[in-house]
């Protein structure tokens, strides 16, 4: 479990493991992690968001929370992070649990529609109590700013006033693949599994904006959500991003209230979130409570500086790039995964079938190839059309190995603008947009 603190000497952000933090200063750890108020008898009390946070982390209510000594690490969290379990998730690798971030190993992403139990989790703040309790009582969505008629909508309003649509849409973290950067980039060290392709149900973003009346002055949306800041300060927002008006008005952008036919799980944004497919997952904001239309590019938390931005030009690894030379990430690049088998597997015969998924942000995938000789030659794979735009596409190929031994299977997708996945990473300071070819190992014989 990693905790973020301000280092007053360097003013830089640190990540500290929960065990280390509690060892150094258990009462401070309680305040940082759960907002617990301690008393002279070393008993403390938890209430509100702090109690909800601990309950969410340990997977249930805590009947005797009032008797838990302050400075005590819950046993469910005291072991190595690999033992940390996210309720409702199956086989995910946890990168961080404050906030919760977890990715899905590639071989568990073989479903054409990613089950809720295997969809990656990327949070920036603390899951709100409303979501933890799965209770939308009192929830409303405000739409205001550069609109003719500001709106306040309930969940029933969304479901009854607008057409409901269901679409299979891929959502990918902008930092997916960061672990491969050298020199390393700060942030969650995703490998390849911060991607999912669920079926989202909701209303078209553009229909809601049309009901509010978009003024000509509107150029950008601003999303506001109910998750809590890690500091516990109710006046701070963990994240508030948005998209250009054109992306919000795109027919596949949704304000969603269901995921794979069920209410959106707490970790994924209950009761309502945006889905802006093909763009970094941070634009698909969870626990949505307000959409503001602005006449400037939104400048909320994680919209400015170098957050979710890359240099406007290619740079050599390790290059320091001036802040003014960064651009906001929009469409994600072409990418693919091998999902039909786990890397390191062994097969008895020299023949096998391999398959996976490919996607390309705002674009479509036009071709898929695999190699078993380290890229010296390529085999064209069968590629299926997506069920709807912004869904990933299934591919498959029959392979024949010339003899026994160690092989690598490489996967390479090409989009409809003829942009091809590279072998090497295009390095950038924040570790975004790694779309290098996926490789797995297989031993024959």
pLDDT of residue 92: 93
Q: In a 3-state reduction of DSSP, which class is residue 288? A: strand
Query: For residue 100, is it within any domain?
Result: no
* CA–CA separation, 283 and 273 (whole Å): 10
Please tell me whether residues 313 and 350 are part of one structural domain. Answer: no
Please tell me whether residues 300 and 183 are part of one structural domain. Answer: yes
Query: For residue 14, is it within any domain?
Result: yes
Q: Nearest 5 degrees, angle CA 339-CA 343-CA 345? A: 110
Q: In a 3-state reduction of DSSP, which class is residue 206? A: helix
Is 70 exceeded by the pLDDT of residue 30?
no
Query: For residue 94, is it within any domain?
Result: no
* CA–CA separation, 125 and 287 (whole Å): 11
- Per-residue pLDDT, averaged over 361-368, amounts to 98
> Which of 50, 84, 118 is the endpoint of a domain?
84
Please tell me whether residues 270 and 178 are part of one structural domain. Answer: yes
- Is residue 271 reached through a cis peptide bond, with omega within 30 degrees of 0 on the bond before it? yes
Are the beta carbons of 309 and 322 closer than 8 angstroms?
Answer: no
* CA–CA separation, 358 and 356 (whole Å): 7
Beta-bridge partner residues of 121: 102
pLDDT digits (tens, 9 = 90+) for 391-408: 999 999 999 999 999 999
Give the CATH number for residue 376.
Answer: 2.60.40.650
Identify which of 26-30, 51-55, 200-204 has the greatest average pLDDT: 200-204
What does the block give as tokens for 211? 């009901």
Please tell me whether residues 204 and 136 are part of one structural domain. Answer: yes
Q: Nearest 5 degrees, angle CA 78-CA 81-CA 85? A: 90
Question: How many independent structural domains does the chain possess?
Answer: 3
Give the CATH number for residue 171.
Answer: 3.90.420.10
pLDDT higher at 150 or 61: 150
Residue 411 φ then ψ, to 5°? -120, 135
What does the block give as tokens for 407? 């092989």
Please tell me whether residues 342 and 322 are part of one structural domain. Answer: no
Residue 375, domain extent? 335-444
Query: For residue 99, is it within any domain?
Result: no
- Tell me the pairing of strands 141-145 and 151-153: antiparallel
pLDDT of residue 231: 87
What percentage of the chain has pLDDT greater than the value 90?
Answer: 75
Handedness of CA 381, 382, 386, 387 (dihedral sign): negative
What percentage of the chain has pLDDT greater than the value 70?
Answer: 81
Is 60 exceeded by the pLDDT of residue 268?
yes
pLDDT bucket at 12, cuts 50 / 70 / 90: very low
Cα dihedral value 26, 79, 267, 229, nearest 10: 20
Residues 6 or more apart in contact with residue 113 via CB below 8 angstroms: 168, 197, 198, 199, 260
Residue with tokens 């977890």: 102
Is 90 exceeded by the pLDDT of residue 273?
yes
* CA–CA separation, 442 and 268 (whole Å): 34
Are the beta carbons of 259 and 118 closer than 8 angstroms?
Answer: no
The least confident of 32-36, 292-296, 343-347, 428-432 is 32-36
DSSP annotation of 280: B
Please tell me whether residues 403 and 319 are part of one structural domain. Answer: no
Please tell me whether residues 125 and 260 are part of one structural domain. Answer: yes
pLDDT bucket at 310, cuts 50 / 70 / 90: very high
Are the beta carbons of 70 and 54 closer than 8 angstroms?
Answer: no
Residue with tokens 């933090």: 21
| DSSP secondary structure, 296-358, as one string | S---STTSSTTTTEEESS---TT----GGGEEE--SPPPEEEE-SS-TTEEESSSEEEEEEEE
pLDDT digits (tens, 9 = 90+) for 46-81: 556 666 766 666 665 566 666 565 555 555 554 444
> Which of 299, 328, 357 is the endpoint of a domain?
328
The pTM for the full model equals 0.83
Residue 254 φ then ψ, to 5°? -125, 155
- Tell me the pairing of strands 379-380 and 2-6: unpaired
What does the block give as tokens for 129? 């109590």
When the pLDDT of each residue in the chain is averaged and rounded to a whole number, the result is 88
pLDDT of residue 59: 61
> Which of 310, 328, 346 is the endpoint of a domain?
328
Are the beta carbons of 253 and 277 closer than 8 angstroms?
Answer: yes
Is 80 exceeded by the pLDDT of residue 97?
no
* CA–CA separation, 156 and 247 (whole Å): 25
Q: In a 3-state reduction of DSSP, which class is residue 227? A: coil
Is 50 exceeded by the pLDDT of residue 289?
yes
The side-by-side arrangement of strands in the sheet containing 220-225 is: 151-153, 141-145, 288-294, 220-225
pLDDT of residue 32: 62
Residue with tokens 């229909």: 207
């Amino acid at each position: 479990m990693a905790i973020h603190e301000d280092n007053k000497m360097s003013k830089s952000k640190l990540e500290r493991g929960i065990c280390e933090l509690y060892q150094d200063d258990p009462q401070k750890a309680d305040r940082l992690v759960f907002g617990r108020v301690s008393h002279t008898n070393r008993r403390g009390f938890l209430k509100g968001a702090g109690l909800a946070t601990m309950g969410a982390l340990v997977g249930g209510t805590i009947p005797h929370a009032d008797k838990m000594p302050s400075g005590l690490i819950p046993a469910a969290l005291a072991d190595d992070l690999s033992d940390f379990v996210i309720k409702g998730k199956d086989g995910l690798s946890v990168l961080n649990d404050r906030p919760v971030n977890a990715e899905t190993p590639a071989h568990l992403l073989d479903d054409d529609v990613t089950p809720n139990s295997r969809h990656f989790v990327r949070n920036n703040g603390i899951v709100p109590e409303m979501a933890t309790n799965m209770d939308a009582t009192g929830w409303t969505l405000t739409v205001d700013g550069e609109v003719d008629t500001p709106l306040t909508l309930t969940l029933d309003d969304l479901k009854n006033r607008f057409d409901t649509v269901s679409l299979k849409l891929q959502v990918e973290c902008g930092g997916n693949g960061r672990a491969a950067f050298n020199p390393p980039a700060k942030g969650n060290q995703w490998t390849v599994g911060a991607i999912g392709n669920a079926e989202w149900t909701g209303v078209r973003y553009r229909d809601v904006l049309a009901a509010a009346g978009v003024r000509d002055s509107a150029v950008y949306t601003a999303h506001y959500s109910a998750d809590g800041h890690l500091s516990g300060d109710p006046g701070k927002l963990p994240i508030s991003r948005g998209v250009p008006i054109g992306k919000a008005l795109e027919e596949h952008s949704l304000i969603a209230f269901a995921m794979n036919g069920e209410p959106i799980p707490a970790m994924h944004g209950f009761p309502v979130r945006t889905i802006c497919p093909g763009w970094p997952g941070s634009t698909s904001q969870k626990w949505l409570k307000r959409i503001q239309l602005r006449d400037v590019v939104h400048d909320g938390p994680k919209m400015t500086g170098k957050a979710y931005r890359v240099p406007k030009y290619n740079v050599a690894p390790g290059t320091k790039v001036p802040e003014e030379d960064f651009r906001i990430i929009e469409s994600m690049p072409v990418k693919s995964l091998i999902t039909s088998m786990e890397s390191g597997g062994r097969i008895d015969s020299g023949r096998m079938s391999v398959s996976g998924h490919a996607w390309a942000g705002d674009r479509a995938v036009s071709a898929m190839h695999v190699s078993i000789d380290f890229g010296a030659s390529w085999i064209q794979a069968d590629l299926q059309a997506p069920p709807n735009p912004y869904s990933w596409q299934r591919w498959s190929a029959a392979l024949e190995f010339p003899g026994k031994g160690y092989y690598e299977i490489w996967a390479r997708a090409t989009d409809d603008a003829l942009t091809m996945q590279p072998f090497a990473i295009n390095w950038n300071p924040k570790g975004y947009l790694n779309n290098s070819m996926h490789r797995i190992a297989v031993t024959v014989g």
